[in-house]
Structure 1
Amino acid sequence: MSAPASPKVVVFLHSGDYDRVHQGLSIAAAATAAGRRAEIYLFWWALERFLKDALDEPDFAGREDVTDRFESRGMPTLRALLEHLTDSGLCTLAGCTGSLGALGGEALTGDSRIPLWLGWSAILQRTAGVTDRFYL
């Protein structure tokens, strides 16, 4: 008999594209709304977006129609979703130390909203056995 699935949801964000980051934060928000814990791990370009604090303006390159629709419908920005997740108390946001080093972003970590920094060994330990994993 196998062990029961973890009630935790894990989101691995690699791409910094607005739509992918929005989708990842939305998945985590849905999980926390259902009372589940969520962990979001930031790598490479997603990490860079957070370090640069580019969380407010939707930027759908070449798709102004989507940007206009997104804004006219009052869709939440990345910052609004992140604030919701933080306020829930059920979400952990973590940055990858390897990606941070590759990006040369160490100087930007003091002002970032990323409270936890981990390498792959720790990430693998924390996410072992989690079946609800999303890679974006």
Structure 2
Amino acid sequence: MHPLYEQANRLSRHVIGAAIEVHRLKGPGLIESIYEKCLMRELELRQLRFLSQRLVKIEYKGVVFEEPLRFDVLVEGCLLLELKSVQEIQPMHQAQLLSYMKLLDIPVGLLINFHQIKLTDGIRRLILPGANQ
């Protein structure tokens, strides 16, 4: 089991609650950057630590380089959020989140689509392969 899995699993409920609060107050139809700023404020009010974008060391066949990774929000160092405001979640959105989770070694990710009328219909939870075993 991934050492951060249990923490991320517990934290995901709190973050989903924060996202629901943002959606309740702002509704669907806004651009992603507005939801991101509102969600970061909500996380701050709930005293959760978070960051966005980070330099990541990438190794490829013996070469190591740093690359800025433009993920949306990393909460408490263990839960990665990818925020969308789109008509429909596409497989590439999930693939992007899973790729970021692998690069950062983050066990749990939430793909949150604020475009939905009922936010819970727009939430997908991804688990890094093997993280919960």
TM-score scaled by length of structure 1: 0.29
**Bigger relative contact order, structure 1 or 2, given CA contacts below 8 A and separation 6+?**
1
Structure having the higher helix fraction is 1
